[in-house]
Amino acid sequence: MLGKEIVIDKEKCDGCGLCVTACHEGALALVDGKAELVRRDFCDGLGDCLPACPQGAITFKEPEPRTAMGPATISLECNASLSSGYQWPIQLALVPPKSDYFRGTLVIAADCTAFTLDDFKRKILDGRPVVIGCPKLDERSRFDKVLAILSQNPIDQVIVVRMEVPCCRALTNIVTAAASQCGRKVKVTETVVSRGGAIVLPDAPSPPSGMIRLR
């Protein structure tokens, strides 16, 4: 779960199912005639289900802070490097929030896209810095990491590259939300890759200005 946790008031819920339809991640289902969060790990915490509920049965709550697992903690530090136009590391969990290669146009791609789209480096990267992550599997802290990257580096555009599947739309939502909170203007565009390995939106990795979404 990437954002706040949702709470469903079973007394208010009338079982209309509108929230289930509104949840593109498939986290909600009707159980015994009432809406229920059946896949907490699928929920992106962005609240698409809230305005869909006519009874006001869905609310947010802050997630409980995590406790340390044992007395010792392990710190992993990766030294970022850029070679031949491509940098390492690239995983969102591993990249430093501030780096010399984070400038200009940044590509934030869903993990699957590089393996699904043929010639990903030439078609998408073309020497741009890149960060990869999964909107379904990554945690709330990943949103905070994107916000930190956009806030601390001279990035003026982000190209979001995601799969066409509904759960991957959350990646665009995460980046758009971070761009709106980073304190300056950052253009966000979207490239969508089909399950068959083709770019279905837009036709090129640098689309016209404004948000582009696959409906």
Measured at the CA of 175, the angle between CA 164 and CA 213, to 5 degrees, comes to: 40
If DSSP states are collapsed to H, E and C, what string results for the chain? CCCCEEEECCCCCCCCCHHHHHCCCCCEEEECCEEEECCCCCCCCCCCCCCCCCCCCEEEECCCCCCCCCCCCCCCCCCCEEECCEEECCECCCCCCCCCCCCEEEEEEECCHHHHCCCHHHHHHCCCCEEEECCCCCCHHHHHHHHHHHHHCCEEEEEEEEECCHHHHHHHHHHHHHHHHCCCCCEEEEEEECCCCCEEECCCCCCCCCCCCCC
- What confidence score (pLDDT) does residue 41 get? 73
- Tokens 């509904």 found at: 166
Give per-residue pLDDT as tens, 56-77.
898 877 666 555 455 444 444 4
Q: Is residue 25 part of a domain?
A: yes
Do 189 and 107 fall into the same domain? Answer: yes
Do 53 and 132 fall into the same domain? Answer: no
pTM of the model: 0.60
Do 57 and 117 fall into the same domain? Answer: no
In 3D space, the residue among 108, 92, 109 whose CA is nearest the CA of residue 163 turns out to be: 109
**Number of domains into which the chain is organized:** 2
Check which CATH number belongs to the domain holding 86 and give it. 3.40.50
What share of the chain has pLDDT > 70, as a percent?
78
Q: What average pLDDT score do residues 117-125 get?
A: 90
Do 194 and 92 fall into the same domain? Answer: yes
Check which CATH number belongs to the domain holding 53 and give it. 3.30.70.20
The domain in which residue 28 lies consists of 5-61
